[in-house]
Amino acid sequence: MAVGRLEGKVALITGGARGQGAEEGRLFAAEGATVILTDVLDDEGRATADAIEGATYQHLDVTSENDWQTVVADVMAEHGRLDVLVNNAGIDFVKKLLATTLDDFERIVAINYRGTFLGMRTVAEVLTKAELPGSIINVSSVAGLQGLANHAVYSSSKFAVTGLTKAAAKEWGRYGIRVNSVHPGFIETPMTVDQRPFTDPDVRSRVEHSIPLRRVGQSEDIATMVLFLAGDESSYCTGQAFIVDGGVHP
């Protein structure tokens, strides 16, 4: 019987109720990992975890320091280790910069950037104290490498995640903690499915034609990259930005 690439590893995935996070959970579990899915969408999260052998669900508001400390402590108490953190939770936001309110700004930054920061810091504190290695994967965006019109706050939050990833990789490499970011392009998920490129066939056709691989991405495309970064095959990769966008940003 083949051994999965994550056999024996424990992985915590935020935003795991649906979309990319759920797909990562399914793939990780299939590769032998013990998976803890977290989200604020409790009903969906429990249903997703119940459908995945080897997965459980726990409520986690990524903007809450107390929630992070509770969840990570629970994982360590039950499993004695935490090998992989996937900071997948995030929200999109489309609005012209001049129309963006301070409340808009603070909401996006709280989830996309503060949530990632809290997760990284909480997990790294535990791992360094226990002298355990680990892999932290932050889901950023191609918008975190190139500014997008009408996405100023979203883009800036993802740029922040990219920078945090690179700085943390330099600080924590000595402890055996790797930190990388994944940068999805145009991906069809529950967060984006209501956008016009997915609802208007003509617009979708034009979008697909603009992508060298001639298709929009799916959650599985991101999950397979995250799997690579979670496993030992990427053991010499840290501080890197991995683009998954069908060739738009070579």
Count of CB atoms situated within 10 Å of the CB of 80: 10
* Cα–Cα distance for residue pair 137/225, rounded to 1 Å: 10
DSSP H helices, 53-101, are 65-79
* Cα–Cα distance for residue pair 14/62, rounded to 1 Å: 8
DSSP H helices, the chain, are 19-30, 42-50, 65-79, 102-109, 115-130, 152-172, 196-199, 201-210, 219-230
Q: Which residues belong to the active site?
A: 154
User: Which H helix or E strand runs over 55?
Assistant: strand 55-59
Q: What are phi and psi of 145, to 5 degrees?
A: -125, -20
Q: What is the largest CA-CA distance in the chain?
A: 58
Eight-class DSSP state of 88:
-
Burial class from Cβ neighbours inside 10 Å (0-12, 13-18, 19+) for residue 32 reads middle
Q: How far is CA 192 from CA 20, 38, 189, 208, in A?
A: 11, 20, 5, 15
* Cα–Cα distance for residue pair 176/169, rounded to 1 Å: 10
